[in-house]
Chain A
């Protein structure tokens, strides 16, 4: 059964491309969110198995979103993504509770599956 995914990013072009890409690799994209607040609401509502979460959002950053939903006891696996390199964020990614980080340019279903294994 395909894993459910919520894509959180403020750029529509990225969201649409990511959706096609992940769906083509067998993921079930069940929703999209364009900022932190709507992301938290969608996670709580849709309870996706995977949240592809952009680090940079208009209202709050991806780390804050991660901390919030983790604090709420949400079980979704969080995969952080950014057009920047993962090194740019130092230890923030490791400390965020997320499963891992995938640079946007390298996004693929396989990369996510690798992190979820």
Chain B
């Protein structure tokens, strides 16, 4: 509301008062015109002045406006005293509006707003009956109908009915009476639900208001009963009290404020200045014993109570609210108080201003207290952590005495914790840490370091330390605190892992040599060196076992001057030695002291300074080939399991030898195949040359001879041609045999069975009975058929030539994906596979197909040749 409007209200109020005074004073129906005028104007102006002052003070509070409105309504009712019919009618029409406004004003105190539904209903009905209700009466009644015989005429009567008017009037009075009772009930209930602070504020207005309403109730009640106008002097007097009550309330709040603030300043001055004393003083001053003070902690960005506990906003809908307290432009605290105090912001502001400095100081106290509390909590947490953590925590003073040791240190080292406190660290755990103490005194400890401590039982543990210097408040170094992790097991594991890696790498290097097919000599040399170095041996040798219980020493590796056994020397394996033990036990062995060994070899070894050894067997194709032996110049110097690690190298040696053997065998087999091919071609050439070629040459000569004989000796020519014909037949027969020898055509054309039958028939021609059993249900791959054919053909040829057998059986079958060919005779046996090229050729032919050929030929008991060839 603008100041201009307020000024207009002041002027309107003054004017309305004068108009009302004139109307009343000039009325013929007024007994005491002056007194009545003064009383009417005094009451009206009291409302208007009080309302406008309240409006000035609290422009945002509508209470002032309501109060002023009540003054204007009062003056409107006063127009009813006029002798002028029009003015009378207007006053008559607004004669009871002031009652509704009064009820509205009292029920809306102190905020200017109706706080509950009951109030709003009461006020709405009040306005209805004082406006529409009164209008209805005015439209139907003449003044005399309402017991005013000397009143001017009602200008608004539209449909006169004295009965109706009287009934309406009675109904309005009855409703007004009920509304009065309802309003009093609401006020009483509101009073009872108020806090002391609120009552203090409500008391003057509620008292006078309730009195006025009660008086009004009495008045309207009487009017209903006796149905005559009651002199309103008493009611008017009571109404006059209401603005006084308001004025008293305003005055009282001002006085209370200055009194409260004065008391507050006094109380705070007398108090200890503690947060609790300030809270008590504020609570007393603001008549709110439940008032709470929360202090602003900028670092945390929240309010806390005097104990540092965070404080939150009061719940919505509660009767509590908050007001911030500022000092020197900064928020220092917040009051949580009765919501009623918000209706007296001046009081709150004055109290806040008066307590600002004290609250600022208390805030500092509270903040300090909060910080200390947090510090204490933090320290407790750290201490608890140190007590429980699986790490060493220890504090030393400058003399190296233990000031604090956590349970883990005690547990790790076997000391009692109580024993440790005050003990000298160096004497207790590690005498070599003097430098640490010196560094500590210079405030120069290493933030991280690794060293070791000894437990009470003498065990050494590796510890990784994090160190920090401790200072007092002046910054003087007073000691150091260290956190240590026991990394002994980790270090051990790392060491083992590193060793494993080294071993793996060494094995890998040797394995690569083996895989590359390097010569045995190179592999032996590298294996002995890698194994010897890895196992920290003085020397390492390879020994080849021989059938005569001796061993041939191969070139090995040795630290300079440490190799005790020369390469190429022969050692006796029936003596006690590492190699001999490997041979006997067929497994890794260790000799922790050569003093325990007897025999010449052991003595010779001892003489070279060797004290201990380990050995592992070298196995090639399931046979004990030899041993790998590592020697040391110290007793029991090889770690546990070293012989098994050596065995890994020995395994690689075995593999290298087996590889080399396989390669050699392969090369020999290839050479034999080539040689067999060459020999076969030579044989063919010789056969052709000696056989068919000679016969064809002779045939050629014979034909030429016959031609020359034809003219002079026809008979001779005939004989020559006869002989030539025989020669030609022989040549054809020889060529057939030869061709069959190169490759039996029937084998390719018709398969193994017909080819073998052909062989059987030819053997029969030579007098050898062959019992043929062919269990093949389908043809074999061509290469397998050819190999099987030659196994049978060569075997039968051998039987025919050498065995002197009566019977021979041939079996061909398929079994588990292999073609089995077996030729068994009852001859003299004793066949030697290495003797003739024929059998060796069979071996090569079968092995070239990944097959296996075996010969069982005990002397005097026949021969069995068996070939097994994979056939898919």
Interface 9-residue window, one of B26-34, B585-593, B688-696? B688-696
User: A89-117, CB under 8 A of B: which get 1 and which 0?
Assistant: 00000000000000011011000000000
Residues of B within 8 A of A108 (CB): 704
- B-facing residues in A63-109 (Cβ within 8 Å): 83-84, 104-105, 107-108
B421 to chain A, nearest CB (A): 112
A interface: dominant SS = helix
CB-based contact B720/A13 at 8 Å: no
Cα–Cα distance between A76 and B54 once the two chains are bound (Å): 175
Q: How many residues of B contact A (CB 8 A)?
A: 16
Tell me, yes or no, whether B708 is within 8 Å of chain A by CB: yes
Interface 9-residue window, one of A17-25, A33-41, A43-51? A17-25
Tell me, yes or no, whether B709 is within 8 Å of chain A by CB: yes
Residues of B within 8 A of A107 (CB): 701
A12 to chain B, nearest CB (A): 9
CB-based contact A104/B697 at 8 Å: yes
Tell me, yes or no, whether B702 is within 8 Å of chain A by CB: yes
Residues of B within 8 A of A83 (CB): 689, 693-694, 697
Cα–Cα distance between A24 and B693 once the two chains are bound (Å): 24
Tell me, yes or no, whether B161 is within 8 Å of chain A by CB: no
CB-based contact B697/A14 at 8 Å: yes
CB-based contact B704/A14 at 8 Å: no
Residues of B within 8 A of A21 (CB): 701, 704-705
Q: Contact check: which of A17, A56, A105 meets B705 at CB < 8 Å?
A: A17
Tell me, yes or no, whether B698 is within 8 Å of chain A by CB: yes
Residues of B within 8 A of A13 (CB): 694-695, 698, 727
Q: How many residues of A contact B (CB 8 A)?
A: 15
Residues of A within 8 A of B519 (CB): none
Residues of A within 8 A of B704 (CB): 21, 108
CB-based contact A24/B698 at 8 Å: no
Residues of A within 8 A of B705 (CB): 17, 20-21, 24
CB-based contact B701/A18 at 8 Å: yes
Residues of A within 8 A of B702 (CB): 17
Cα–Cα distance between A11 and B730 once the two chains are bound (Å): 14
Q: Contact check: which of B690, B693, B701, B708 meets A17 at CB < 8 Å?
A: B701
Cα–Cα distance between A18 and B697 once the two chains are bound (Å): 10
CB-based contact B698/A17 at 8 Å: yes
CB-based contact B708/A24 at 8 Å: yes
CB-based contact B701/A104 at 8 Å: yes
Cα–Cα distance between A20 and B698 once the two chains are bound (Å): 12
Residues of A within 8 A of B693 (CB): 83
Report the nearest B residue to A54, measured CB to CB. B694
Report the nearest A residue to B685, measured CB to CB. A84
Q: Contact check: which of B695, B700, B709, B727 meets A105 at CB < 8 Å?
A: B700
Cα–Cα distance between A28 and B698 once the two chains are bound (Å): 20
Cα–Cα distance between A105 and B705 once the two chains are bound (Å): 12
CB-based contact A11/B694 at 8 Å: yes
Residues of A within 8 A of B727 (CB): 13
Report the nearest A residue to B708, measured CB to CB. A24
Report the nearest A residue to B692, measured CB to CB. A83
Cα–Cα distance between A104 and B689 once the two chains are bound (Å): 12
Q: Contact check: which of A24, A56, A105 meets B697 at CB < 8 Å?
A: A105
Report the nearest A residue to B689, measured CB to CB. A83
CB-based contact B698/A14 at 8 Å: yes
CB-based contact A11/B720 at 8 Å: no
Report the nearest B residue to A20, measured CB to CB. B705
Residues of A within 8 A of B697 (CB): 14, 83, 104-105
Residues of B within 8 A of A105 (CB): 697, 700-701
Report the nearest B residue to A11, measured CB to CB. B694
Residues of B within 8 A of A20 (CB): 705, 720
Report the nearest B residue to A24, measured CB to CB. B708
Cα–Cα distance between A80 and B701 once the two chains are bound (Å): 16
Report the nearest B residue to A13, measured CB to CB. B698
Cα–Cα distance between A58 and B727 once the two chains are bound (Å): 21
A23 to chain B, nearest CB (A): 10
Report the nearest B residue to A58, measured CB to CB. B690
CB-based contact A14/B709 at 8 Å: no
Residues of B within 8 A of A24 (CB): 705, 708-709
Residues of A within 8 A of B690 (CB): 11
- A-facing residues in B700-723 (Cβ within 8 Å): 700-702, 704-705, 708-709, 720
CB-based contact A14/B694 at 8 Å: yes
Cα–Cα distance between A105 and B693 once the two chains are bound (Å): 10
Q: Contact check: which of B689, B698, B720 meets A84 at CB < 8 Å?
A: B689
Cα–Cα distance between A31 and B362 once the two chains are bound (Å): 156
A89 to chain B, nearest CB (A): 13
Cα–Cα distance between A21 and B53 once the two chains are bound (Å): 176
Cα–Cα distance between A89 and B473 once the two chains are bound (Å): 118
Report the nearest B residue to A107, measured CB to CB. B701
Cα–Cα distance between A104 and B698 once the two chains are bound (Å): 8
Cα–Cα distance between A83 and B702 once the two chains are bound (Å): 15
Cα–Cα distance between A107 and B690 once the two chains are bound (Å): 18
* Cross-chain pairs A/B with CB under 8 angstroms, 26 sampled: A11-B690, A11-B698, A13-B727, A14-B698, A17-B698, A17-B702, A17-B705, A20-B705, A20-B720, A21-B701, A21-B704, A21-B705, A24-B705, A24-B708, A24-B709, A56-B689, A83-B689, A83-B694, A83-B697, A84-B689, A104-B697, A104-B700, A104-B701, A105-B700, A105-B701, A107-B701
In the complex, besides A20-B720, A21-B701, A56-B689, 9 extra interface pairs with C-beta distance below 8 angstroms are A13-B694, A14-B694, A17-B698, A18-B701, A24-B708, A83-B694, A83-B697, A104-B697, A104-B700
6 nearest A-B residue pairs (beta carbon): A104-B697, A13-B698, A17-B701, A83-B697, A11-B694, A105-B700
Q: Which residues of B contact A (CB under 8 A)?
A: 689-690, 693-695, 697-698, 700-702, 704-705, 708-709, 720, 727
